[in-house]
Copies of this chain bind each other. A is one copy, B any other.
Amino acid sequence: MTGVQTESLEVFRTVARYGSITSAARALGYTQSAVSRQVAVLEAQAGARLFDRLPRGVVLTSEGACLLPHAEAVVDRLAAARAELAALRGLSGGQVRVSAFTTATAALVPRALASFRQAHPGVGVTLANGLTPALLDGLAAGDADLAVVSAPAAAGVHPIDPARFTVHHLLDEHLLIAVPGQHRLAGRATARLAEFAEDAFIVGSATAEDTLLRVSLPPGFRPRTDIVAPDWTAKLGLVAAGLGVALIPALAIRSAPADLALLRLDAEDAPVRQVLAATAAGRTVPAAATALITHLRHAAAGLELA
């Protein structure tokens, strides 16, 4: 019973069904001798006669009848495995695990997932949140198939080791500055950071170092960070109420709010951030993940135009 060939089980099943080695052989496209021998081998492995040889064919013995449901279960299970692999390959099944940094889950990832699920309804998707370093660690650990991460566009030190990860560029994200509707610069399309020296900045944490401001503070520029707000929604609410201005990554804006103005910050002040889709290098990328990258690209293109 060790080293069973699954074909032998299929042969066994067919012989049991036909009640004849010869006709089973015909049905399977084998020679009668081949089937006879395969049955004999299976019987030796089982340690018991599986068929009684009658003058007009064969019938299962009690041992054969005992084995038959198991053999059919095995054959069926293998067929199920084949089918599931085919589904995986054909993007009509399986699972893809995506992780993304929080801002990306505002608009970019949801839009990509929406079109992806429409295109491949059979593929399950799980979404995880986190900060870029944790996402990359999880990616390397195999916790996710695909990570949407951010990286500074600066050509210098790249936080993403190209030897460990394969990255797919999605978009270059610019930084916006949100000002109240009646702010003196509300009508402008772009602005420099230095123009907001007198404004109160609503930041995400108490220390300027932990906020977006840290990326490139002009020398001598020390913004007032009076108000701390935990998330983008709260920040926008505070800005709309006239309590100050706030730096907002463009991706965090789901749609243009009516009661405040968004100015694009000059690239000199805040270098654009890259948004990337990363996969683990050296690991086979699931077909679903590859497809999802395409949808992420399309979603990114749609967002950049807006």
Contact = CB atoms under 8 A, between A and B. Distances in A.
Interface of A: 1-7, 46-49, 52-54, 59, 61-63, 66-67, 70-71, 73-74, 77-78, 80-82, 84-85, 88-89, 94-95, 142, 145, 282-284, 286, 288
Nearest to A62: B286
Nearest to A142: B59
Given A66-B88, A70-B78, A70-B80, 4 more contacts: A53-B282, A59-B142, A63-B284, A73-B77
B81 A1 contact: yes
A63 B85 contact: yes
Given A48-B89, A54-B282, A85-B46, A77 B74 contact: yes
A39 to B, nearest CB: 14
A47 B81 CA distance: 12
A1 B85 contact: yes
6 contacts: A6-B74, A53-B282, A59-B283, A61-B283, A66-B85, A74-B77
Contacts of A67: 81, 84-85
Contact of A70 (B47, B59, B84, B94): B84
A-B pairs with lowest CB-CB distance, top 3: A70-B81, A62-B286, A61-B284
B3 A6 contact: yes
A282 B7 CA distance: 28
A47 B52 CA distance: 39
Nearest to A6: B4
A5 to B, nearest CB: 6
Contact of A3 (B7, B70, B73): B7
Contacts of A3: 5-7
Nearest to A81: B70
B74 A145 contact: no
Nearest to A52: B283
A52 B280 CA distance: 11
A204 to B, nearest CB: 36
A123 B48 CA distance: 18
B85 A48 contact: yes
A229 B286 CA distance: 80
A84 to B, nearest CB: 6
A161 B7 CA distance: 40
Contact of A284 (B49, B74, B88, B145): B49
A78 B59 CA distance: 22
